[in-house]
Amino acid sequence: MAVRKEMMNFRITEQEKEIVHKYCELTGRTQTDVFREFVRSLEKRLEKLGAFTQ
């Protein structure tokens, strides 16, 4: 069964956008890949806080 993917939209400053753009350019990764990795890293932070995750 295919995993249903959701879309998120959020606002960032021009400076933050430039940081993301430079990071993606230097690493050869897409913005989607970078943001997904960041979101997944939040799970470890939640575990440290004692929050339940799935």
CA 6, CA 44: separation in Å to the nearest integer? 21
DSSP letter at 30 equals: -
Radius of gyration over every alpha carbon of the chain, rounded to an integer in angstroms: 14
pLDDT above 60 for 53: no
pLDDT, tens digit (0-9, with 9 covering 90-100), for 2-34:
888 899 999 999 999 999 999 999 999 999 999
Q: What is the pLDDT of residue 5?
A: 87
CA 22, CA 28: separation in Å to the nearest integer? 10
Better pLDDT: 45 or 11? 11
Predicted TM-score (pTM) above 0.85: no
